[in-house]
Amino acid sequence: MKQLLLILCVFFFQAGKAQSLIDSLSSLQFTMRDSVGHKLAELAMNNPSLKVADEQIEASKYEYGIQKASWLNNLNASFNLNEGNLKGSSGPTDAVGFYPRYNFNLSVPIGNFLTRPKQAKKARAQYEESIQLKEVEINQVKEAVLVTYQNYQMNRYLLALQEAAIQDEKTIFDMVEQKFKSNTATLEAFTLASKRLNDALGRRVSLMRDVNVSKHQLESLIGMSLEQAMVTISGK
């Protein structure tokens, strides 16, 4: 009788703990306006993909500058002095010298006036496009951080609920096991209780994996460990 009372006390104690946990979690609200999520999104501005976008902007900027000045590469100029003027006069006929005294030529391919402006406009458009693409990348990274943080929080809460469920199943299994040993519970009841406990333990392993994966994904986005990120946020 005392053993039965002890088992019942343990059962109600565990049930009370589980209910307390469920009550505390029931007041939680998932929202994309979570301040921690947005602060983590700001930390993600050091994401490697954004650094690549910066390099693409810089490359497009240089290309635009090159295209604006490249028309000068096609200017052909020549200059020479008349050889007779350089040698000086050596006779009566040479006194007048040779005219013109120098020659200067400048040639510009006509096609440049048609192609170069268009190439420069194309380079400018690509430069402006690279800037816009970075803005798109920034928004995508921030959204990814917010969603991944929500997944991480959800998985943590589900794991906490599962821990409570495991305690309940463990208590029930222990009771059925004691009854089975004293021949007051059938093998079917014992097997069912054992299966329910094993299923609950298996679910916990799956949820632990989900927590770890979502945390890893979040850390990859923000470029640092979540613990370090939380310290940084607290410092700010």
Give dist(CA 42, CA 196) in Å, integer.
44
Q: Please, what's the b/e burial string for 195-222 (b: 16 or more CB within 10 A of its CB; e: otherwise)? A: ebbeebeeebeebeebbeebbebbbebb
Global pTM exceeds 0.85:
no
Average pLDDT estimate for 172-180: 94
Q: What does the pLDDT look like over 36-84, one tens digit per residue? A: 889 999 888 877 777 776 777 777 776 767 666 555 555 555 545 555 4
Distance of CA 3 to the CA centre of its chain: 57
Quick check: helix, strand or coil at residue 103?
strand
Fold of 2-7+30-77+109-235: Outer membrane efflux proteins (OEP) (1.20.1600)
H/E element holding 78?
Answer: strand 76-81
Whether the pLDDT of residue 89 is over 60: the answer is no
